[in-house]
Structure 1
């Protein structure tokens, strides 16, 4: 029989240091907690039939594409021509599970090389598997009541942010917001003003992030806006704003832009400009048309933009884009005031 180890007696100094040690261990484990499996996804499974399994595998493949590309729009590639076959070819394993709400789930894992080759064939740039862990300071102003968002407070926003980041394969940290931290946070923040958020850089040191996101969410009803600043060592800060009909839509658009900005320069050879034609439904007034036009005018590599038709709630545009239709996911869709409608042709619906 092995003797039990002798009990360790804590000295007064050790007792004083114990809380600090616990905090240090907790912060040291934060990054591991946010490790993401980019090549695996879980999706609902309708029933046990082979047809349902194939449909679920295709959906899971789409989620993996979005995680690897860093942009949710890449998921639609799984539903386009050749997507379902590519999903089956790259499938390594799958299994069944049950979610917390009792819904049957299918867990699927895909071959990393096959996934990246599929994206490259469609000229969609992918992020490296090793990605910076980003700490997000977000001031949420909902109905005139600004509040900083922490790891679990308010719960709905904390969950929405982590889900948005996870769907794009982005490791995200939210601050603990303990009493000391809350007392030091400013009552307002403007990500566009670097001096306005300088104090948050100092507060970030305890989390040891690879990069910092400063954000502001504001709005109400069907009009929301997210303002973001991304600070990474060795790079110039990037500042942008996105909007949506809900807080979730604005957050999703903002996180798509993060993925687009993290793509390494020259990751995909786009090739020569190719004529592209897209249709956007839901354009009901000149303000909507102007918002779409302004977005398209700012897309790098897009030239020769011209309207073809406008009427009955639909706008048709033609332009030249390096990489053609396949480059829409990476070049045009991030941060766009419209979302793609599933199908084999590039069609969208206006969503401000």
Structure 2
């Protein structure tokens, strides 16, 4: 039995592009000497860094479950190495992804996947009223601490390249004044998921930052739908404090809550599933989503496949993940629907008589089998959210 559960008309306004951050489960920390206690402390520091990145919570170490894990950190380590930075001995630590996910679930914490919104940063430095834009290849001293602070939170940043198009599209007064329209127009060419404007005065102890985060795309800024988050920080740790605030804000939008699955399930229908390999790629993609607990194919007809999905988190987190996957293109129809199990049946199970691929045997280009769907037509809902599968995106 099917019934409408929610309507995501805002899907089209959510970020459509994202970057994959490959270093969420890795950390590099100082190792002043080689005794066992120092190594234990260094591993704990590395684990805390990783947990902050993966959870999106800067205060994750306040959790009692996490505190115990930090004390027994060796159970989560998958690889250790040693190196040096500027002559300083360093410990390189990689952690087990599945164990980290399990730990966060046990701690009832949040989880932020490797797919992260790309942030375009317009950085303006004020030196005695001489204000300049810091472009990507400028070699400005601010770039290194900015990139390091972003890396500690798993945030993918990019700076404008500073070519003729950039310097003619935006002026320093536009950026210093935080005028959304010209900033959005100049940012559009980079197709970021979010835009930051950072104004810097002074250095070292006298550093002062004034910043704005537009957490949506330039298109949303042009439409007047993107309200900026603003902040001020000062002192030698100003850049890291700024990035912590920005990361916490974005994590509140994108991270999912672990620790329990929603009741019932949801369904989507995807077109252009023409081959067996398409089916398995799509199924694997859905199963890998952070917000998904279980995926089952329930209907196949022509090139369309309908999936019943049980969620670990809320519907909004699921919608965001769908919107950030380029191979799934939303079709302008109605809503996702909630699937409720028929009486006497289990949630998510394919109805009797429905055949779905069970292996990849044979050619990857083998077409999906033609199926008899007569047993399911009575349960087809016209309001299902539809997507188009583009495996080459």
- Which of 208, 212, 217 is the matching residue for 2:191? 208
- Which of 18, 33, 38 is the matching residue for 1:47? 33
Stretches of structure 2 that go unaligned for 5 or more consecutive residues are 1-17, 261-393
Match of 2:180 in 1: 197
Residues 226, 72 of structure 1: alpha-carbon distance in 2 compared, 3 angstrom cutoff: farther
Between the aligned partners of 2:73 and 2:64, the Cα distance in structure 1 is 7
Match of 1:237 in 2: 226
Between the aligned partners of 1:80 and 1:118, the Cα distance in structure 2 is 8
Match of 1:251 in 2: 239
Residues 223, 163 of structure 1: alpha-carbon distance in 2 compared, 3 angstrom cutoff: closer
Between the aligned partners of 1:238 and 1:230, the Cα distance in structure 2 is 6
- Which of 73, 96, 114 is the matching residue for 1:87? 73
Between the aligned partners of 2:65 and 2:174, the Cα distance in structure 1 is 41
SS at match of 2:73: helix
Between the aligned partners of 1:210 and 1:104, the Cα distance in structure 2 is 37
SS at match of 1:65: helix
> Structure 1 residue 171 and structure 2 residue 160: aligned?
no
How is 1:71-110 mapped onto 2 (pairs within 5 angstroms)? Answer: 71-74=57-60, 81-99=67-85, 101-110=86-95
Is the 8 Å Cα contact of residues 64 and 75 (structure 1) preserved in structure 2? no
Shift of 1:42: 1.0
For the pair shown, the structure with the greater C-alpha radius of gyration is 2
Residues 50, 79 of structure 1: alpha-carbon distance in 2 compared, 3 angstrom cutoff: farther
- Which of 94, 97, 117 is the matching residue for 2:102? 117
Tell me how large the CA RMSD over aligned residues is.
Answer: 3.4
Match of 2:116 in 1: 131
SS at match of 1:162: helix
Is the 8 Å Cα contact of residues 174 and 183 (structure 2) preserved in structure 1? no
Shift of 1:107: 0.9
Residues 207, 94 of structure 1: alpha-carbon distance in 2 compared, 3 angstrom cutoff: same
How is 1:249-328 mapped onto 2 (pairs within 5 angstroms)? Answer: 249-263=237-251, 264=253, 267-268=256-257
Shift of 1:76: 6.9
Between the aligned partners of 1:184 and 1:134, the Cα distance in structure 2 is 19
Is the 8 Å Cα contact of residues 122 and 175 (structure 2) preserved in structure 1? no
> Structure 1 residue 149 and structure 2 residue 129: aligned?
no
Match of 1:320 in 2: none
Match of 1:310 in 2: none
Aligned residues: 236
Shift of 1:187: 2.2
Is the 8 Å Cα contact of residues 136 and 172 (structure 1) preserved in structure 2? yes
Residues 75, 171 of structure 1: alpha-carbon distance in 2 compared, 3 angstrom cutoff: farther
Match of 1:316 in 2: none
Residues 140, 106 of structure 1: alpha-carbon distance in 2 compared, 3 angstrom cutoff: same
Shift of 1:259: 1.7
Between the aligned partners of 2:37 and 2:207, the Cα distance in structure 1 is 40
TM-score with structure 2 setting the length: 0.52
Shift of 1:71: 4.7
Is the 8 Å Cα contact of residues 104 and 111 (structure 2) preserved in structure 1? yes
Is the 8 Å Cα contact of residues 62 and 79 (structure 1) preserved in structure 2? no
Higher RCO (CA-CA < 8 Å; seq separation 6+): 2
